[in-house]
């Protein structure tokens, strides 16, 4: 069965450092992979989408990589700030030719301290 | 546009009671999704609509659950004869259906069944 794995343990990092979060998937061949941010008590917020033919995508301090051979995506936040503290969810997505349901990993909680 | 809204934000009910939640999507979005999220887990897909048509239902959606989107605008999710296991955050999201894959989530309805 399809499986999406994110580190369930919280990632604690010092302000200014680069945070790297991992998303691994098995029994899956996604054409896209999305990353969302979720704050406590709120709905997820879309951050980035990367396609299978894109190795890397950037948005401000965020960088996502997508390695279809390793079946892995890495999500980096450079120069991290306490405001980046949240849970980050990945969602690999097959190409159905249209918008479709998302299957999320369990999420990794990031805590950025001063 | 004010984004996706959900009502109520919190609902406490006794086991066996029926509850109904409402979701108002972003006005130009014709796809609407319902997800359920429990503590420490990512959102799990329940069902989605293309305009007023319900296109897919998860096996998670038991016979006690029903969703409607009568005019292709707002949607309701009803749970009949609630059980303690129904306690969760119920999230609604919307998206376009052509070329746009990211989903926009509402703040969720937190259901507690006592």
pLDDT digits (tens, 9 = 90+) for A33-90: 999 999 999 999 999 999 999 989 999 999 999 999 999 999 999 999 999 999 999 9
CB contact under 8 A, B108 and A32: no
A105 inside 8 A of chain B by CB: yes
Give the pLDDT confidence score for residue A59 in this predicted structure.
95
Q: Does the pLDDT at position B106 exceed 80?
A: yes
Please answer yes or no on whether B101 and A49 come within 8 Å at the CB atom: yes
Q: Give the confidence band of B72 by pLDDT, cuts at 50, 70, 90.
A: confident
Query: Does B40 sit within 8 Å of A101, measured CB to CB?
Result: no
User: Does B51 score more than 90 pLDDT?
Assistant: yes
pLDDT band at B63 (very low <50, low <70, confident <90, very high): very high
Rounded CA-CA distance B9/A9 in Å is 28
CA distance B48 to chain A (A): 7
Separation in Å, CA of A23 to nearest CA in chain B: 13
CB pair distance less than 8 Å for B106 and A43 = yes
Using a CB–CB cutoff of 8 Å, tell me whether A106 touches chain B: yes
- Coil, strand, or helix at residue A80? coil
Q: Which of A50, A101, A96, A47 is nearest to A72 (CA)?
A: A50
Inform me whether the pLDDT recorded for A107 exceeds 80: yes
Verify whether the Cβ–Cβ distance B103 to A102 is below 8 Å. Answer: yes
Q: If you average pLDDT over every residue of chain B, what do you get?
A: 94
Q: Report percent pLDDT > 70 for chain B.
A: 97
Contact between B95 and A99 using a beta-carbon 8 Å cutoff: yes
> What are the tens digits of pLDDT across the range B25-41?
999 899 999 999 999 99
Task: Print burial letters for B32-41: b (CB count within 10 Å at least 16), e (below 16).
Answer: bbbbbbeeee
Q: Are strands A86-93 and A108-113 parallel, antiparallel or unpaired?
A: antiparallel
> Least CB-CB distance to A99: which of B41, B100, B106?
B100
Q: What is the pLDDT of residue B1?
A: 56
Of A36, A91, A99, the CB nearest to B97: A99
Chain B's closest residue to A93, CA to CA, is: B101
Q: What is the pLDDT of residues B74-91, one digit of tens each?
A: 999 999 999 999 999 999
Percentage with pLDDT > 90 across chain B: 87
Q: What is the pLDDT of residue A51?
A: 93
Contacts of A58 (CB under 8 A, 6+ apart): A64
Task: Express each pLDDT in A88-104 by its tens digit.
Answer: 999 998 877 777 889 99
Q: How many CB pairs under 8 A join A and B?
A: 62
Give the C-alpha separation, A91 to A46, whole Å: 10
Check A44 against B91: CB less than 8 A apart. yes
pLDDT number for residue A81: 97
CB B34 within 8 A of CB B94: no
């Amino acid at each position: 069965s399809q499986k999406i794995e994110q580190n369930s343990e919280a990632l604690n990092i010092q302000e200014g450092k680069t945070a790297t979060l991992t998303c691994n998937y098995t029994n899956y061949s996604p054409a896209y992979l999305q990353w969302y941010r979720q704050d406590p008590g709120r709905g997820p917020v879309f951050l980035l989408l990367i396609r299978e033919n894109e190795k890397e995508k950037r948005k401000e301090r965020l960088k996502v990589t997508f390695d279809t051979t390793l079946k892995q995506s890495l999500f980096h936040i450079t120069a991290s700030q306490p405001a980046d503290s949240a849970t980050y969810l990945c969602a690999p997505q097959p190409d159905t030719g249209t918008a479709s349901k998302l299957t999320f990993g369990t999420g990794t909680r990031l805590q950025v301290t001063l | 546009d004010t984004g996706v809204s959900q009502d109520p934000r919190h609902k406490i009910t006794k086991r066996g009671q029926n509850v109904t939640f409402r979701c108002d999507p972003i006005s130009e979005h014709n796809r609407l999704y319902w997800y359920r999220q429990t503590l420490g887990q990512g959102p799990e897909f329940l069902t989605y609509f293309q305009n007023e048509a319900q296109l897919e239902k998860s096996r998670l959606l038991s016979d006690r659950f029903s969703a409607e989107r009568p005019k292709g605008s707002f949607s309701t999710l009803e749970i009949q004869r609630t059980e303690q296991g129904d306690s969760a955050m119920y999230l609604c999201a919307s998206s376009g259906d052509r070329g746009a894959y990211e989903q926009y989530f509402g703040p969720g309805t937190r259901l507690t069944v006592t």
